[in-house]
Amino acid sequence: MRDIGGMTQRVILLGGGGHGIVVAGLAAACSMHIQGVVDPDPEVARRFAGAEWMGGEDAAVLLYAPDAVLLLNGVGANRPATVRRRVYEALHGRGYLFPTLVHPTAWVAPGVDLADGAQIMAGAMIQPETRVGSNSIINTRASIDHECRIGAHVHIAPGATLCGNVVVEDGAMVGAGAVVTPGIYIGTGAMVGAGAAVTKNVPAGVTVRGVPARPSS
């Protein structure tokens, strides 16, 4: 349970796969204990000591009033981004809370704006005057420099580096180890491949790969 403002809230993890395991570790580092897991596979609850399998449908959460639970989005962003986004929007729209989580080993500059449901993983670094949108993941050891604008439902994958004044619009992904140079714009739903070096703007919905990054065929 999690006691917030004098009220005890049940912590429920949505998705028990690979990203769910990492989110569970993040939650533990933030002194949160998971009581319930929603996932199609009943065996996944064994991964989370003391957690109850609640079934495979998000509707299981509706058994609880919105102010009685905290929801952790464990749906990975490497699946179609629409799945993670759908889970968040369906329940957030009903008033359920997805808390913002920051791993104790991450460094987030004072004044950085982190929206609800943002997940800042171990070793990540976020520099001043940056904004991270709702339900976005700043993954393990990702680095985001000054004055970046990260939209909602974005995944900045492990080890990715965003230089200053980069804009990443809603639903986009920057792959593991990619480097985005200063002032670049990455459009809605775009994807930057792992290890890419982005030196030019990326239009909405376009996938780029390589060094330097170019649209993939």
Quick check: 10 pLDDT over 70? yes
**Residue 43: predicted pLDDT:** 86
Domain residue ranges of the chain, discontinuous segments joined by +: 2-92, 100-206
3-state secondary structure of 195: coil
pLDDT single digits (tens) 23-50:
999 999 999 999 999 999 988 888 888 8
**Which ranges of the chain does DSSP label H, i.e. alpha helix?**
18-29, 81-92
Quick check: 161 pLDDT over 50? yes
Highest mean pLDDT among 1-15, 75-89, 96-110: 96-110
Quick check: 173 pLDDT over 90? yes
**Residue 135: predicted pLDDT:** 97
**Closest of 191, 165, 164 to residue 178, by C-alpha:** 191
**Residue 8: predicted pLDDT:** 73
Residues 112-129 have a mean pLDDT of 98
Retrieve residue 11's tokens. Answer: 């912590």
**Residue 153: predicted pLDDT:** 96
Same fold: 2-92 with 100-206: no
Read off the amino acid at residue 137.
I
**Closest of 137, 163, 161, 141 to residue 151, by C-alpha:** 137
Catalytic site residue 19?
Answer: no
Share of residues in the chain with pLDDT > 70 (%):
94
Rounded to the nearest integer, the mean pLDDT of the chain is 92
199's CB contacts (< 8 A; 6+ apart) are 181, 184, 212, 213
ω into 212 cis (within 30 of 0): yes
**CA–CA gap between residue 11 and residue 47 (Å, rounded):** 15
pLDDT single digits (tens) 189-217:
999 999 999 999 999 999 999 999 999 86
Q: Are 184 and 198 in contact (CB under 8 A)?
A: yes
Indicate the CATH number of 2-92 among 3.40.50.20, 3.40.50.720, 3.40.50.300, 3.40.190.10: 3.40.50.20
**Residue 210: predicted pLDDT:** 96
Task: Of 81-95, 172-186, 194-208, give the lowest mean pLDDT range.
Answer: 81-95
Quick check: 7 pLDDT over 70? no
Residues 1-23 have a mean pLDDT of 77
Catalytic residue among 33, 103, 146, 153: 146
Question: Looking at domain 100-206, does it have CATH number 3.40.50.150?
Answer: no
